[in-house]
Amino acid sequence: MSTLDQKVAWWRCCFFSDEAHFHISGCVNKQNMHYWSSVNPREIHQRPLHSDWVTVWCAISRIGIIGPYFFDEDDRAVTANSVRYVAMIQEFFAPALEELNAGLVWFQQNGATAHTAQKSMAVLREMFPSRLISLRGDISWPARSPDLTPLRLFLVGVSKGQSV
């Protein structure tokens, strides 16, 4: 395969990754979710100020799905900071990727702070030299680019206990 063919076909061996917060109460983060409705979206809905939630990460490619990974400590949900993100990459993602025997793959992530911290980028650059799509990566994550909707839809189904 020529270099041009490899550059054109990068998406065939690219893992697209994302994480999302899901509120157990059913409330929706309007920044992440967009939906059409026949009812008035400005209608007032009462909900708890701090509802229970879970942070879930997943990576998907033509090769397969790695995840979901639930960020938690001592059986309670936590957000993904750089320390937790690096631990997940090293202890969960890297072994799962090896198990798939995928060979040379690319990795895509958005520009979240946990993803682009120096420690996170160092680990990812070592795993994916010249094949990292990210803010400050080898290929820049485009400004104002939407998050990867298919992963969010997949994670919603998994979080609700629906089979894949």
pLDDT band at 31 (very low <50, low <70, confident <90, very high): low
pLDDT band at 137 (very low <50, low <70, confident <90, very high): confident
Q: Are strands 106-108 and 132-133 parallel, antiparallel or unpaired?
A: parallel
Q: Is residue 104 part of a domain?
A: yes
Q: Is residue 33 part of a domain?
A: no
pLDDT of residue 138: 75
Q: What is the CATH number of the domain that holds 146?
A: 3.30.420.10
3-state secondary structure 59-117: EECCCCEEEEEEEEECCEECCCCHHHHHHHHHHHHHHHHHHHCCCCCEEECCCCHHHHC
pLDDT of residue 4: 44
Widest pairwise Cα distance in the chain:
58
SS3 132: strand
The 10s digit of each residue's pLDDT in 33-47 is 555 567 766 666 565
Domains of the chain: total: 1
pLDDT of residue 125: 92
Q: Which residue has the higher pLDDT, 85 or 142?
A: 85
* Rounded mean pLDDT, 21-30: 63
pLDDT of residue 155: 57
- Read off the tokens for 47: 């909900």
The 10s digit of each residue's pLDDT in 59-112 is 988 888 888 898 888 877 788 889 999 999 999 999 999 998 877 888 888 888
Q: What are phi and psi of 13, to 5 degrees?
A: -130, 40
Q: Which residue has the higher pLDDT, 163 or 45?
A: 45
pLDDT of residue 111: 80
Q: Is residue 97 part of a domain?
A: yes
Q: What is the mean pLDDT of the chain?
A: 75
pLDDT of residue 10: 59
Q: Is residue 42 part of a domain?
A: no
Q: What is the residue range of 114's domain? A: 17-25+49-158
Q: How far is CA 27 from CA 12, 45, 108, in A?
A: 35, 9, 28
pTM of the model: 0.70
Q: Is residue 30 part of a domain?
A: no
- Read off the tokens for 107: 């990795």
Q: Is residue 144 part of a domain?
A: yes
Q: Is residue 122 part of a domain?
A: yes
